[in-house]
Amino acid sequence: MAGTVVVPMQKMQLIKGERHLFSSSDDSVVMKQIMATHAPDSREVDVRPILDIVEDILKRANPSYILMPQTQLEVVEAGTHPAEVVSMLEALAYTVHRMSSEINYKCSIGGDAHATTLALLQSLSSYTWDAKLVIVLAAFAISYGEFWLTTQLHTVNPLAKPLAHLKQLPNMLEHTDILKPRFDAINNLIEAMLEVTKCIVEFRELPSEYISHDAPEMAMALAHVPTAVYWTIRGVIASTSQIVSLVGLGHE
């Protein structure tokens, strides 16, 4: 299990300008900083339903879904969530939106990615590692989903059209061919982030009767989780920074 978490993280360490951070000399210092943000209380969050929603958003949020006026819209069936899921979403809504605003603001002003990641972890100090990660990923899904929802609908929806013009998204779409490598890189990073997150959540869901928390294999795997969470959140920061840079592209 530990290997499953580590492999995708190696992909995310290739983010330009980030490879130096976890050098042998800095490794222990950064790990201490990460662990210093972690002070979980007794709260338990069933993150699986949230992760399912986040995954659905991120898989649909991409350039391939941009609609044309003649496009026939897909009929979406109305669905309901169990009462306990709705209650949990309501309880976390403020935290998720606060994280989303903080991420967007820090990325808009060019804040330091390492400091931003630690600040997010500190804000979520009372949550378990899997909950921290899913909350941050949900925060990213809100802004990323809204960005692509406006982009996809701007030719067919009278509300999306002026919103897209305010953000100068049509100018961005004029550079689709040039921007394709950037979109592909973001999508690849998002896939890696989802893969890591699902691994951590699945690991957390392992029944205790099948594997003891005192087992050496369990301890070894758990030791990788904080690092995996840190780098996945760094991936969120990197992806958000890329999307922020696309807004108003025509004026650059």
CB-CB contact of 236 with 137 (8 Å): yes
**137 within some domain:** yes
Considering its fold, how many domains does the chain have in total?
A: 1
Output the pLDDT for position 65. 58
Q: According to the model, what pLDDT value does residue 124 have?
A: 96
What is d(CA 231, CA 117) in angstroms, rounded to the nearest whole number?
9
| pLDDT at residue number 25 | 54
CB–CB of 107/235 below 8 Å? no
The 8-class DSSP code of residue 62 comes to S
Residue 2 lies in a domain: no
Query: What is the per-residue pLDDT for 24?
Result: 52
- Check residue 66 and give its pLDDT: 56
40-71: pLDDT as tens digits: 988 888 899 999 999 999 988 876 655 454 45
Domain annotation covers residue 123:
yes
- 29 located within any domain: no
**Residue 165, token pair as written in the block:** 């013009």
The answer to the question of residue 13 being in a domain is no
Alpha carbon 183 to chain centroid distance?
15
The answer to whether residue 115 sits within a structural domain is: yes
Q: Given this model, what pLDDT does residue 189 score?
A: 95
Task: Write out the residue range of the structural domain in which residue 102 sits.
Answer: 47-67+82-251
For residue 170, the tally of other CB atoms under 10 A from its CB is 15
* Residue at 77 is within a domain: no
Distances (CA, A) of 224 to 129, 202, 217, 246: 11, 14, 11, 34
pLDDT recorded at residue 73: 52
Which parts of the chain sit beneath pLDDT 70?
A: 1-25, 63-81, 170, 248-252
Q: Flag whether 220 is in a domain.
A: yes
Confidence at residue 225, expressed as pLDDT on a 0 to 100 scale: 94
